[in-house]
Amino acid sequence: MSEQEKGINPIKGRGSSDNPANRFEEFYTDYDLDEETGQKPSQQTKLYRDDTKEIISTNDSPDIPFDKSINPYRGCEHGCIYCYARPTHEYLGFSAGLDFESRIMVKHDAPRKLREQLASPKWDPTVLVMSGVTDPYQPVERKLEITRGCLEVMAEFLNPVSIITKNYLVTRDIDHLKELAEHNAAHVTLSVTTLDKELAQKMEPRTSRPGRRLQAIEELAKAGISVGVNVAPIIPGLTEHEVANILEAAANAGAAHAGYTLLRLPFGVKELFQDWLEQHFPDRKDKVLNRIRDIRDGKLNDPEFGSRMRGHGNFAKQISDLFKVHTKRFGLNKEVLNLSTQNFRAGGGSQLKLF
């Protein structure tokens, strides 16, 4: 049953308007529907301590260009309705819906644990990605500064870092990023889904608006920090017509690199996204879903390595060709991005910081 059929209206400031059942739990907490407003309550964000032992995560996915990452937070207040990471919250006993964007797990000890790992004789210097799952610059970072603390550690050791974010807040940490960039050890990617600020407000409600992300690209580039744009996700039938404009705007702002991924809808994200379309774009819903099926062999999701990021068929090829033509046209991806580990300082920049 869709949210419209259940009488659920959009919640201002949240991507999801529902808190569907956790596929792993027999019982779970839902939020009562207010029959007068037709809304479920917009839950205040709650923070939970995450005492994960290892701060550096490893993956062996053949279609992800990195194998080690740091995720200071689990769950993401940005609330992007399309986020492929939503189902990961179910492993914590939460819902992929409202819980994902209002129940945030926080790794308060991340900087300390990172320093311990980088100082270990067993550490083999490599690029660390922040963040492989949820945004390291989501709103709570402004207060907690955990991502900033991790960057301070990486600047101390000159361990290379690559950041992926949708938030202008990344510019706050230009000091540490600039120090790393002087040793070819820093890169930042701003994800831009759309240039339409009204669409962005509905689709990714607590992110920085598109103009602010472009401003972040400009400020990072002027500081001498390697910066790129990720046109992600491209949503067939809704945003694919913006690819060229996003690439042009990012290049004009100073981006040197660009990438893209197509929309992924794993597990319960399929239902959340369909309900969101019904709420905000009922006239385009069938078009968007049919386009998605066109690139996913008739399904709404393709979990297979090698195709899940790029899709199949003529329409997927059109998007790929369009991306290639315009990256060349706007001078993007002229050089291969290759961060360096050769300046890694095994003892860190200051032994005093270890105490």
Where does the chain have alpha helices with state H? Answer: 98-102, 110-119, 141-144, 146-157, 174-181, 197-203, 210-222, 243-253, 269-280, 285-295, 313-329
* Terminal Cα distance for the chain, rounded: 57
pLDDT reported for residue 309: 75
0.85 cut: is pTM over it?
A: yes
CB 16 within 8 A of CB 8: no
Please state the separation of Cα 17 from the chain's center in Å. 20
pLDDT reported for residue 101: 96
Q: Return the CATH fold of 46-334.
A: pyruvate-formate lyase- activating enzyme (3.80.30)
Please enumerate in sequence order all residues whose Cβ is within 8 A of that of 28, keeping only pairs 6 or more positions apart, or say none: 21, 22, 93, 95
Angle between the 243-253 and 210-222 helix axes, to the nearest 10 degrees? 40
Other CB atoms within 10 Å distance of the CB of residue 129? 24
3-state secondary structure of 267: coil
Task: Indicate the domain borders of the chain.
Answer: 46-334
pLDDT reported for residue 354: 43
Q: In tens digits, what is the pLDDT along the chain, a chain of 355 residues?
A: 554 445 567 888 888 888 888 887 766 666 666 556 566 666 789 999 999 999 999 887 766 667 899 999 999 999 999 999 999 999 999 999 999 999 999 999 999 999 999 999 999 999 999 987 899 999 999 999 999 999 999 999 999 999 999 999 999 999 999 999 999 999 999 999 999 999 999 999 999 999 999 999 999 999 999 999 999 999 999 999 999 999 999 999 999 999 999 999 999 999 999 999 999 999 999 999 999 999 999 999 988 777 777 888 999 999 999 999 999 999 999 999 999 999 999 988 654 444 3
